[in-house]
Structure 1
Amino acid sequence: MLNRYPLWKYLMLVFVICVGLLYALPNLYGEDPAVQITGARGVAASSTTLGQVEDVLRKQNIEIKSAVLEDGGSLLVRFNNTDVQLRAQEVLAEALGNNFVIALNLAPATPRWLQTIGADPMKLGLDLRGGVHFLMEVDMETAMSKLQEQTQDSIESELQTKGIPFVEVAKNSDGGVIARFADNNTRAQAVDYLTPRHRDLVFTLGDKSSFTATMTDQRLSEAREYAVQQNINILRNRVNQLGVAEPVVQRQGADRIVVELPGIQDTARAKEILGATATLEFRAVNTNIDAQSVLRGRDRSKSEVKYRRDGSPVVLLKKVILTGDHITDSTSSADEYGRPQVNISLDSAGGNTMSDYTKDNIGKNMATLFVEYKDSGKKDANGRSILEKQEEVINIATIQSRLGNSFRITGIDNATEARQLSLLLRAGALIAPIQIVEERTIGPSLGQQNITQGLEACFWGLMVSVIFMLIVYRFFGVVASLALVVNVILIVGVMSMLPGATLSMPGIAGIVLTVGMAVDANVLINERIKEELKNGRSVQQAIHEGYKGAFSSILDANLTTLITAAILYAVGTGSIRGFAITLSIGVLTSMFTAIVGTRAIVNLVYGGKRVSKLSI
């Protein structure tokens, strides 16, 4: 029989609408002003910290809406308004000191029962939600110093391999490397051997049987460019680890990088992760000499003293076995005794290096040195923060067998520190330290204005379409209007469900556009039905032929729009991609509501009935 839907189609339609409505619902609850409390490295927020925070705020008569200890080892304290939030941040920063990072935040006020099914509000872009804007500067002096050290190690290693004796290989103040020999003949032999192997170095003969190796201008320029580009790639990886949708990470000038994080939920963690320059160095432990002898000046050319967290000294050989640059993946877990550990995976070159070293040094000790650069609190002549290198031995292990591409690091204090270390290593070690020279938190005031204007545009666009449909198509206009409302609900629901979808001003434009396209589909269907009625078809045949005949036109129009959206997504960035995603979702939902949704209502009202006239 014409125009009859089976029961399963109605149930499917009701199910889709209910799911869309359920996942769109969190967007109505808004957000609470909050303070995010995240522990610095080696410190994790606990229930004790939670009690301390509550006591401090209670003594200052600051009312808390809620305070919870989250899974990631951070505290989220909610307040009723922003004035109380700002006051609480000042009080907590003074009470907790440097062990914790206190950051302002906006936390979704979604009820717990919606959170349990994964229903969260839409992620909003920087123009709507606000967020964090960082301007970062690459420390080129440290990058060039690292390159100088690599050149020094390379020359020293090659001379030893060739068996050419030397007195000293050291860095000089001009960024080059100076090598001294016992006589001029040995120096000439060394220069003849090294020159063809280092085309990017210029060897200049000096007095007292020495030469100076300096990098060419082209090599220095390439190194600076490499440092910035690699840092951009690593920052992008770290942003991905934070799970931020539609971030902006781009170069500005010669040595600066702009990072914008829209709608970031944990600004404290973002600042700590993005600015961290943590990496690992694997070094041999020198057990043949004690720390005091090295500190007094013995064996300083080959060994140096580093310290554990408890302050105990460890003598390490200066030569680095392997750096964190070769780490391709890292995860945190617990060992067989429940203690935190970090599992390391190396690339092929790193795996071969580790394998060759451990094969020849079974039974000896190898240390894992954690290296990071932190703000010293001092400023240079230009007013920029001076970074301070901090090193800590986090693990000393006895090599019991030959290691390959995968191994683990133990001796870490807590699970939170293990998770953070694994995240930093997985995202990559920065080629050179970076410092945040400008930080701006974009407030929600402009965003709220944009949201209001965007919603008004959607509302009036929808109202004009509804009025038009009601006047021209009467009952079928009511059906089309219901489809438009359901279409908007489904768009919001799908946008809320997709983890990578972010709503920005161009995204709102995409929603307005799809509302118009949904009206267009209903106009095609209704006009086709009216045309069939004029041609003498019965009511049932007119409805059937109307939907059937309009389907191909609707499909072609929406398919070309989807192709355009796919191209925009492929070649666009940021807001352009957001527009493409919203447009694609809107096209699909509008086809569903215009073809399946309206047909279901029409079939329910007119299907299988003897009707002589349609309200159209």
Structure 2
Amino acid sequence: MLQIDAWKRITIWLTLLVGLTLAMPNAFYTRVETYNDAMQAIELGADTTENRDAASVWPDFLPSGLVNLGLDLRGGAHLLAEVQLDDVYAARMDSLWPDVRDVLRPERATVGTIRLQPSEPGTLRVRISEEAGMARALELVRGLAQPVVTLTGVGAQDLDVSGDGNDIIVQLSEEEKRATDERTMQQSLEIIRRRIDEVGTREPTIQRQGADRILIQVPGIGSAAELKEIIGTTAQLTFQPVIGRTSDENDAPGIGNELLPSMDEEGIFYILEQAPVVTGEELVDAQPSFDQNGRPAVNFRFNPSGARAFGDYTAQNIGNPFAIVLDEEVISAPTIQSHIPGGSGIITGNFTVEESTNLAVLLRAGALPAELSFLEERTIGPELGQDSIDAGKIATIIAFVGVLIFMALSYGLFGLFANVALILNIAMIFGLLSLVGATLTLPGIAGIVLTVGMAVDANVLVFERIREELKTAKGPARAIELGYEKALSAIIDANITTFITAVILYVMGSGPVRGFAITLGFGILTSVFTAIFVTRLLIVIWFERRRPKQIEV
């Protein structure tokens, strides 16, 4: 009557073994973390003696997944950044000037001369000399407008074009501004995430707050200043035509041009056309390397459209200089010696190896579409994190010991079986967290503490049902069997509703709420497994060996 098939027993023991094996690295946290860092460095090319020695502290055949500690447990950096969306509008209008000029040039007989006028950021003002040609000019410029690519902006155009005397005024439409804001925020989030991932930090929290702000929390990083160095640089790379150079920073570059300093030559400034030939957005790869003189440099490669534009420009401007500009500084201004058709090249300058590596990381991750202003920055020290861990440990131990004592006093030997299952349950929770690389936070510890209390709930239902069946059933074996059968529906119903709650918290919540939901959801899965299968298996093994005529629960 009270039997479990051999294949079921093997499956239960194998599941427990896998869970305990996955959880084991957390018992040697510092050693395994050192091993993981060393292996990552070796994979990235730093195959040094120090890294190989560090990698030898943990066997390769054992799992090395760890439960990542959140910002509140490990310490780290917290930033709240505001994206300067107006900068995107201004850059968009600056890049539109060559298109407006080119579309009006064939109609000079009608519109007269075409001149770019000073205007406020986010507005393009172009003056024509023949006011009678304004209608034709507006028609041509409006032809540059494109449909807004959003569901809410269907039918709208991205440009508002109007006339004011002899001036053509071009601005982004309100629908396009909303679409641009959304694209800019999504791009900023993705680029920040890629930059942080490039340097190997663990489980950062990067999420949008409000219309134009981004919350960034990175555990394990030294300071907020260090985090700002990783993400604060826009890494805007452009290739721009050179008009001239000067040593006077007060020289007027002229409308449509800009004056930028040289990175290598102190006191030298370059006059460049504002509209770039190619931008860093068209880069597909950037790697640190060395130039022909053995100095650190960065190799780059464009996508097909960037390669075509770069190749056409170099073919048409052999003998002319062009500037490589990074974040409004001219890295170098080489003279074009020949046509460069392949869409690849090299950036040289007075770099150190570390600087060339960092530049390659920034370029590979992509340029931030707009500047970030940091409104709030905090560094959470590891001491505070350790205090949180200690407090969490104390809470968990008190809850754990209290439940163990209660079960042992209430249900005797059966309570001890439930206690063994509870210990295995906690280990399996850590095994699952390690398997998925989840982050443990203080709310996550609260979820584990709650699971400790809930984990014995299923056993309580079963044991109370067995007590009832002992009064009517024929023998202890039948009582145990009926106890599990009749309590099963109540156990499943109760845990399914709680699991649905955990899923909703995970989907709708963010940050610490998700951490709580993950540990709660995993705890429900493991507690149901240990209560229905593990505890029952322990009771069956005991019953098969002792064959008692009577049992007390």
SS in 2 for 1:113: coil
| Residues 29 and 527 of structure 1, relative CA distance in 2, 3 Å threshold | farther
Which residue in the other structure is 1:482 paired with?
Answer: 420
1:147-546 correspondence to structure 2 within 5 Å? 147-160=92-105, 167=113, 169-175=115-121, 176-181=123-128, 183-185=130-132, 189-195=136-142, 197=144, 199-206=159-166, 211=167, 213=169, 215=171, 218=174, 222=178, 225=181, 230-232=187-189, 234-239=191-196, 243-245=201-203, 247-251=205-209, 257-265=213-221, 267=223, 270-283=227-240, 319-326=275-282, 330=285, 332=287, 344=301, 346=303, 351-352=304-305, 354-355=307-308, 358=311, 369-372=324-327, 389-393=328-332, 420-499=358-437, 501-546=438-483
Which whole-Å CA distance do the structure 2 matches of 1:394 and 1:496 have between them? 51
8 Å CA contact retained: 2:77, 2:217: yes
Which whole-Å CA distance do the structure 2 matches of 1:537 and 1:326 have between them? 79
Which whole-Å CA distance do the structure 1 matches of 2:312 and 2:41 have between them? 44
Which residue in the other structure is 1:128 paired with?
Answer: 73
Which whole-Å CA distance do the structure 1 matches of 2:551 and 2:24 have between them? 34
Which whole-Å CA distance do the structure 2 matches of 1:144 and 1:598 have between them? 64
Matched, 1:590 2:527: yes
Aligned length: 513
**CA RMSD of superposed structures (Å):** 4.8
8 Å CA contact retained: 2:85, 2:181: no
Deviation at 1:590? 1.5
Which whole-Å CA distance do the structure 2 matches of 1:356 and 1:490 have between them? 57
8 Å CA contact retained: 1:5, 1:603: no
Deviation at 1:588? 1.9
8 Å CA contact retained: 2:323, 2:334: yes
Which whole-Å CA distance do the structure 2 matches of 1:245 and 1:298 have between them? 46
Which residue in the other structure is 2:27 paired with?
Answer: 25
Q: Which runs of 5+ in 2 are unaligned?
A: 47-53, 146-158
Specify the code of the residue in structure 2 equivalent to 1:490: M
| Residues 476 and 188 of structure 1, relative CA distance in 2, 3 Å threshold | closer
8 Å CA contact retained: 1:169, 1:177: no
Which whole-Å CA distance do the structure 2 matches of 1:304 and 1:118 have between them? 56
Which whole-Å CA distance do the structure 1 matches of 2:39 and 2:276 have between them? 43
| Residues 280 and 260 of structure 1, relative CA distance in 2, 3 Å threshold | closer
After superposition, give the CA deviation of every residue in 1:51-73 in whole Å (9 maximum; x if it has no partner): xxxxxxxxxxxxxxxx9996679
8 Å CA contact retained: 2:77, 2:222: no
Deviation at 1:469? 1.1
Which whole-Å CA distance do the structure 2 matches of 1:11 and 1:188 have between them? 83
Which whole-Å CA distance do the structure 1 matches of 2:40 and 2:26 have between them? 27
After superposition, give the CA deviation of every residue in 1:512-569 in whole Å (9 maximum; x if it has no partner): 2222221012123323433443333344444444445544443343333333322222
Q: Which runs of 5+ in 1 are unaligned?
A: 33-66, 75-109, 373-388
Specify the code of the residue in structure 1 equivalent to 2:165: L
Of all paired residues, the percent bearing the same amino acid is: 29
Which residue in the other structure is 2:64 paired with?
Answer: 119
8 Å CA contact retained: 1:3, 1:608: no
| Residues 159 and 585 of structure 1, relative CA distance in 2, 3 Å threshold | same
Deviation at 1:10? 7.0
SS in 2 for 1:320: coil
TM-score (norm 1): 0.67
| Residues 11 and 301 of structure 1, relative CA distance in 2, 3 Å threshold | closer
1:76-91 correspondence to structure 2 within 5 Å? none
TM-score (norm 2): 0.73
SS in 2 for 1:202: strand
Deviation at 1:122? 3.0
Which whole-Å CA distance do the structure 1 matches of 2:84 and 2:407 have between them? 62
Which whole-Å CA distance do the structure 1 matches of 2:471 and 2:334 have between them? 86
SS in 2 for 1:507: helix
8 Å CA contact retained: 1:524, 1:550: yes
Deviation at 1:196? 5.8
Deviation at 1:275? 0.5
